[in-house]
Structure 1
Amino acid sequence: MKNPNTLNSKKGFTLVELLVVIAIIAVLAAAGFAGGTAAMNKARKVTAQASATSVQTAIEQFYAEYSALPDVEEQTDTSEGELLNILAGLEGTGNNIQNDRKIRFLSLKESKNGKRDGVVYSANGSSIDSLLDPWGQPFYVVLDTDYDDQIRVTPQGSSAVTLNGRRAAVYSLGVESVGEAKPSTLVKTW
C-alpha cells in the first residue's frame, strides 16, 4: 500500500527550484534585451544610411540635370529645408528658383511624429521644414561649391577628411546628442 505522505511530497516545486527557474529566465531576458538593443541600433543605422544616400544621389541628379550644384552654403544641415525643397521640386515662387522644372530628385518618407526619422513638412504641407535621422538629429551636407572635385568634411567628434572626386558628402552623427558623436557612430556616404 502506498503512503499518502509520499504522494503529497512529490507535488509542486520547492522554493529553491522556483528561484533557480526565475534566475535562468532573468539571465535569458537580459541576454535577449542586449541583443535586441544592438539589433535596433543596427536598424537605425541602415535607415540613416539609406536617407543619406538618397540625399547625395538627389544632389548628383540635380547636378546632372542643371550642370550646377544647388546654390546653398558649402556646409549645411537638413534642419532647414532650403536644400531639401530645391531637391524635392518644392521651391516657392520668386527670382532665385533653382529647380525651375520642378523635378523631384528627392523623395523620402515622412516623419511619423515630426521628431525623428524622416521628412518634416510645413503645417500646410507645401514645403519641407527639415529631414531628421532616426536619432532626431539633422543630416549634414557638404557641397563642392568651388567645383574643384575636392571636399573637406569635419564631422563633430571626428577628424577632418578630404574627399576627392566628389560633389557632395552627407552624414549623420548616429547619436541622439551632438556631444556623444564619435567616429564609430557616424553614418556617412563616403
Structure 2
Amino acid sequence: MKTHQNPRSRGFTLVELLVVILIIAVLATLGITGSARFIEKGKKVKAMTQFRDFEIGMKMFETDYTKPPLPESKRDTGWDTIYGDPGGTYTNQFLVSVLAGEDKDYPYGGENFSAKQANPQGQSYMIFPLAVDNKMGVGKDGKLYDPWGREMMVAINGFNTPGQLLVPFNNGQNDSRLHTWTLAEYTDTKPNEQAYVFWSYGKDGKKAKNGNDGALSDSDDVVSWK
C-alpha cells in the first residue's frame, strides 16, 4: 500500500521577509503622514473658528461704540494697529481685555492702552476659553493663542475722520486700506478695506513658505479674508 507524505512547508526566504517588512514600513509611514495632515487640517479649522468668534465680538463692540476697539492714542491719530505680531510692539492682551470688559492698562513703549477707556461701559462681548497649555485660548499671561501656541495676530483699520472721504492709501494713517506693513500681505491676497483682519502663520510660525514673501496658497498660514 502506497502512502503519501505531505510536502514540507516552504518557509519565507530572507528576501521575502525584507519585502514584507518594507511594505509594512511604507504603510505605517503613509498612515502617520495621513494622520499628521488630518491633525493640521483640524487645527486650521479651529483657527478659523477663533477668527469667526473674535469677529463676532468685534462687531458687537462696533454696534455699541460705532468704532473698533482702539486705544485713544491710535484712534486720535488714525493709525492702523497690529496686535500679536511676535516681533512687534503690541500684544493682543489689550483687545482681549477690551472685549472681556476688563479694567486693565497696558503700557507699550511709553504709550498706555486703557481697556476701560476703550470700553467705558465695561460690557463683555466675548467669553474667551482658558488655555493652560497656551493653545486655542487665553493663557495665564492674558494673551490669546492660536492652535499652534502663538499669539493670534490682529490688524485694526484706524482713522479719525468717520463719515469723511478717505484717501485710498496713506501708509496706514487715515486711509481706507488696512495696512499691515507686509505682515499679512501675500502675492495672491492681502487685506483691503476691512475694519479688521485676523491671521496666523500656522505650524511653522513663518509667513508664507519658509518665511518668504510668497503665496498664501503655498503655505500653511490661515487668514480671515480671501
* TM-score computed with the length of structure 1 as normaliser: 0.77
Name the counterpart of 1:163.
192
**Shift of the alpha carbon at 1:12?**
5.2
Structure 1 residues 96 and 106, CA, compared in 2 at 3 Å: closer, same or farther?
closer
Which residue in 2 is equivalent to 1:150?
Answer: 177
Distance 1:58 1:95 in 2: 15
Letter of the structure 2 residue corresponding to residue 137 of structure 1? R
Within a 5 Å distance, the mapping from 1:4-23 to structure 2 comes to 6=7, 9-10=8-9, 13-23=12-22
The corresponding residue for 1:189 is 224
- Quick check: which one's helix share is greater? 1
Determine helix, strand or coil for the equivalent of 1:142: strand
Structure-1 separation of matches of 2:206 and 2:81: 16
Match of 1:125 in 2: none
* Aligned residue in 1 for 2:169: none
- Report the 3-state secondary structure (helix = DSSP H, G, I; strand = E; otherwise coil) of the residue aligned with 1:16: helix
Is contact 1:143–1:151 with CA below 8 Å preserved after alignment? yes
Aligned twin of 1:110: 130
Q: State yes or no: 1:40 paired with 2:39.
A: yes
Can you give the 5+ residue segments of structure 1 that lack an aligned partner in the other structure? 123-128
2:136·2:147 contact (CA, 8 Å) conserved in 1?
Answer: yes
Aligned to 1:126: none
Deviations along 1:12-47, one digit per CA (max 9) or x if unpaired, are 544333322212111111111221121111111111
Aligned partner of 1:173 in structure 2 is 201
Q: How far apart, in 2, do the equivalents of 1:130 and 1:50 lie?
A: 17
Equivalent residue number for residue 88 of structure 2: none
Task: Return the alpha-carbon distance in structure 2 between the equivalents of residues 156 and 68 of structure 1.
Answer: 22
The TM-score with structure 2 as length reference comes to: 0.67
Greater length-normalized contact order (CA 8 Å, ≥ 6 residues apart): 1
Unpaired runs of 5+ residues, structure 2, are 75-79, 85-90, 106-113, 167-175
Taking only the aligned residue pairs, the percentage that are identical comes to: 25
Compute the RMSD of aligned alpha carbons.
2.8
